[in-house]
Amino acid sequence: MTVLQVGPLMPALSTALAARYDARELPDAFTDDEFDDVTVAVTSGRTGVDAALMKRLPALRAIINFGVGYDTTDVAEAGRRGIAVSNTPDVLDDCVADTAVGLTIDVMRGLSAADRHVRRGDWPAHGNPPLARKVSGARVGILGLGRIGLAVATRLTGFGCDISYHNRTERSDVPYRYAGSVTELAGAVDVLIVTVSGGAHTRHLVSADVLAALGPDGFLVNVSRGSVVDEDALVAALVDGRLAGAGLDTFADEPHVPPALFGLDRVVLTPHLGSGTVETRQAMADLVLANLDRFLADGTLVTPV
């Protein structure tokens, strides 16, 4: 079978693909028959494989995704074409949950803003920065109580936080309070943490109405996909002071971030680094290679979606 790398991947994984499987990289432009023999595509959640590319890869039988999110791959079209799809779940849950908790602490306590206050020389010139908000004991709403959401809840339970959540269906195996809608959840918490999967079914799930329910004393933390939040409504709410603050690791048009957010001390911005540790990225790469080895051996995947 012939392996194709679609889009950039971490250098060590690209090197392994080339060395172990003689994988080629997809160029920006290619002729219609240049990759007729490709049976496996290895990509990432940032790039994916859309329907147009599938059509140009007639022998494609598997798409192996580096990352838990795969909304950039047309999974429905893949299913119609008999193309198997995998991702890298579980191995990044801890790091993404750590990032969510870190952003929550940072934006509520104003740590990054305080750091800038010191670096600018404002402490001796203007005194202490404004008082922040307490994290311990806060009312926390988790939108999407899957693997990552549960890991966030476990961590914040240790802070004595009051946890509630919203899923498409209520879970019977957790002690946390269920909210029947996203708006209901947002209206009952101090901070709303978004951990749902991306895709058309969750696009703008955090709407202007949800942000209004969260209100001027509420905080939003997003470690999901930028598409889940109505970014225009979010920027407007933050600029107008209708939201207390936001900790954002993902954005609608990455790597581009709305410039209006740059000057707001009440916003913490990180470049989609939720899984960005040496240990987790290596575990993700290992799982990609395990999926590839399994598919080349018997046509099945370790972690099919």
Taking only the tens place, the pLDDT of each residue in 192-206 is 999 999 888 999 999
Selected catalytic residue, list 225, 231, 281, 294: 225
Asked if domains 2-91+278-298 and 93-269 share a fold, the reply is yes
**What angle, rounded to 10 degrees, do the helices at 11-21 and 278-298 form?**
20
Segment 261-286 mean pLDDT: 96
Taking only the tens place, the pLDDT of each residue in 43-66 is 998 899 999 999 999 999 999 999
Domain 93-269: CATH superfamily is NAD(P)-binding Rossmann-like Domain (3.40.50.720)
Q: Is 170 a catalytic residue?
A: no
Q: Is 254 a catalytic residue?
A: yes
Q: Is 204 a catalytic residue?
A: no
Domain 2-91+278-298 part of CATH 3.40.50.720: yes
Q: Rounded to whole angstroms, what are the CA distances from 285 to 1, 66, 269?
A: 20, 7, 26
The domain ranges of the chain are: 2-91+278-298, 93-269
d(CA 3, CA 63): 10
List the end-to-end C-alpha distance of the chain, in Å, as a whole number. Answer: 21
Place 218 in a pLDDT band, splitting at 50, 70 and 90. Answer: very high
d(CA 29, CA 88): 28
Segment 129-156 mean pLDDT: 97
d(CA 202, CA 214): 18
Selected catalytic residue, list 117, 166, 231, 272: 272
d(CA 171, CA 74): 29
